[in-house]
Chain A
Amino acid sequence: MTTGIAETIPAGWKALVDRHRELLATGPAFLRELRRAAWTRFEERGLPGRREEDWREIDLRPLAALSPVPAAPRASRVSPDILDHPAVARPAPPRFVLAGGRLREDLSAAHPLPAGLQVLTIEEAARAWPDLLATHLGRYAPAENPFVALNTALAEEGLVVRVAAGTDVDVPLHLVHVAPAGDRDVACHPRVLVLVETGARVALVESFLAREEAGGLVNGVTELLVGPGARVTHARVQHEAPGIHHVAHVAARVEAGGSLRSLSLALGGPLVRVGIDVRLAGEEAETSLDGLYLAGSGQVVDHRTAILHDVPRCASHQLYKGLLAGDGRAVFRGRIVVAPGAQQTDAHQQNRNLLLSRQALVRTRPQLEIYADDVRATHGATVGQLDDEMLFYFRSRGIGLAEARHLLLAAFTGEILERVPGAPLAGLLRDLVRDRLARELPAGEDAR
């Protein structure tokens, strides 16, 4: 084994190469093989360049210029007060806190864990359910995606959530991912696998947090299997520090009659890139993908969704909304693929954006690939400003311009926020978005 690093890997990432080699020496054989193969894929390709279609709008050079250290050794230094973060504010149990991708049992509150719900680290799960893990881990996220490969190669403990057939979990399960702060940039590769068996129901919230001073890369992968007739809500909340580059992939497979409600809230960062793939693999499966993203000055938020209608009689609905302030930028690419024979497909996509300044920019592009003929598919995208007519209506009733703007923005964001599972969390996020908008919006009655 050589000690050098391939030229496809950023020079400053040496510490990650070393960490990968350490990880190759531990854990069950299949996991080691998974890591090795993933690393090979990453090494062959390196970080994507701007010439690659999927990454054209994203500048990864600032990320490549970092010299991050693996986050895991610092995980134990994350102090409990991170749970006072405004986006979680001490979530009620069951909650699991992962710092740098490793489970912090002392910060987690597993009990009482509802019967039929099991949560283990990936290594524990690999020992307890070797066949299950071998079958599902790494099966849903696109292996060829360089960041997915990097995650697989570098994921630490991670988490497996298993919901047994027929189980109805009536409180949302909260996973809190913390990027540890320190004197150096860190790289975290949180990995989650969610297996929801036949007819079970569960809601899962993943929050990605960091202290203000934290910096580096958070590269998460979450895979979900929604079993036949199962109903799953998956919400992700990204609210990290100005120095955290956030890349994530959510990949789900939904079996016959199953339903997945996905929600992505991205509150901005120097680079936020979220990919969500849903494969509707069994008839009468359905999914809704909703999102809300905010990007202020110096921030880029990029969402890519891909819905694969493999079989007949499935439905998908997407509503992504964005607010852009300052010179913030956003990208939304929504891909819908209806396979040959996937008749009676119902697929709808909407992307609506509000620009709050002249410098803000959004790129939105639907991508429909339809290979069946009995399909209802619609898409629409809007990019606009706060409606002058609406603002005037408010003002003509005595409501000041600043308040009118806030009411309109609250209405715009509320349509997505009201879909957040769990009233306490939904309320917190509403406050968070409101405070954030208060900072982003120009003050004063005359500002426009």
Chain B
Amino acid sequence: MASELPAIDDALVKKLAKLSRLSLSDDEAAEVRSRLAAFLDYAASLSSLDLDGVEPLAHLSLDEPEGDGGVRGPMADDVPQASFGVDVVEQLAPEHAGALIRVPKVIDGGSA
């Protein structure tokens, strides 16, 4: 596996952290780099397996005979259900203005 994957360097760790919406200190980044490399080393045994023709198993549906992709669940009637009121959502949100959740400016000031 190691040969098929890029070297775990600072640039890759930085990119993955950004995709994960995390910022890492230099120490944290170094720790992540060494632990990712150690894990991939450990996981290298997976590349020795011949997996051609094996169907990936992403989700279990142990009740049903397979062949439906394992995604069929029980059906529910399509009827409206009671849900939480706005007051509950307000209480959970770290900042709100009345019934609205307050967020920083997204346009002209929100940055990526």
A, B bound = no
Give me the interface of A with B, judged by CB distance under 8 Å. Answer: none
Give me the interface of B with A, judged by CB distance under 8 Å. Answer: none
